[in-house]
Structure formats: structure tokens, C-alpha cells
Amino acid sequence: MKRFASILIFVFVFLSTFAQENNTFRFGFLSYKVALESMPDYAIIQQKMKDLQAQYQAEAKRVEDEFNQKYEDFLEGQRDFPKTILQKRQTELQELMAKNIAFKENGRQELAQAEQNAMAPLRIKLIETLGKIGREQGYAFILDTDIKALPFINPAMGEDINQLVQNALK
């Protein structure tokens, strides 16, 4: 992070010097998150992700209920079970618990991967749109203000392009 900040400071110092000498240096800035969320397909993807998450939660609940039922049955009969049956049931419960934990972890990973895959086309479209706007407006670059690394942007040199990008994406 310190290296990134050092490079960012160096680039700004260099570009500031360049801009003062040429008076033609311009850049755009926007909230990448706001631009992404303004895309028409974003809401559809978010709804699909909520539906998929609900399916995983329902399955996790079903598996948890199954485990709880087996555990209750085990507790009720543990005094009456012969030693080998008791050990077998304990082993079954341990395996079931391990499978449940693995399912939850795999579910989190699969949900994250599904969201990444679903959002990839939107991100590509946004990057292409930003490139087009950058070329058309003659920007040297476009900054993402979401990263909180820019406490000050000189409005005489930079231009807020949030609305321009949102209009281009619709």
C-alpha cells in the first residue's frame, strides 16, 4: 500500500508539473461503484444473487435441521445404546457436522465466484465506456474516487464525469 501511495504521489507531482507547463492536461473522476450500480443489468444481477443466496441458505437450514434432529435422537438414546452403536452415532454426527461446515464454506466461495462471473460483463462494459468517454473528452486519465486516496481534486483540472457516465451506460 505504501508503494502504491508513493507511485501515486510521484505520478501526481509529475502530471501537475506537466499540466502547469502545457495547460492542456485534463482528467475525469467518478465513483466507480455509483457508475456500476447505475447500469440497468446491475439490479437484475443483484436479484439473481439474492435468489441464489436464498437457495444456499435454505439448504444450509435444511441440513442444520437434519443435524439437530439426529443430535436430539442421539441425546435421547445415548444411555440405552450399546457402546459400538454409541460410537457409530457419534462418528456419524461428527462427519455430518464436518460436511455441513464444508458445505457452508463451499457455498460462500461459489456465491463469490458466481457474483464475480455475473459482474464481469458489466465491469467490461463500464471500462469500455470509460475509455470511450476518456478519448472523446481528451482526458489523460479517469480516477476512481471510491478508493479514498484523493483527498483533494482541483476542479479546474479535473471534471466530475459521474452523470456523463451514467447517461452513456443507459
Q: Over the stretch 126-167, which tens digit does the pLDDT of each residue have?
A: 999 999 999 999 998 899 988 877 778 877 788 999 999 999
27 burial level (CB within 10 Å; 0-12, 13-18, 19+): buried
Over residues 91-96, mean pLDDT: 93
Q: Which has more pLDDT, 118 or 3?
A: 118
Provide the pLDDT for residue 9.
Answer: 66
Which grid cell is 32?
466507480
- Helices first, then strands: H and E counts in the chain: 5, 3
**What's the average model confidence in pLDDT over 26-32?**
91
Taking only the tens place, the pLDDT of each residue in 54-70 is 999 999 999 999 999 99
Picking from 9-18, 22-31, 121-130, 131-140, which range would have the lowest pLDDT averaged per residue?
9-18
Q: How far apart are CA 132 and CA 138, in angstroms?
A: 10
Q: Nearest Cα to 139, choosing from 149, 130, 147, 129? A: 130
- Of 17-26, 67-76, 133-142, where does mean pLDDT reach its minimum? 17-26
pLDDT tens for each residue of 111-121:
999 999 999 99
pLDDT score of 22 more than 90: no
Percent of the chain with pLDDT over 90: 60
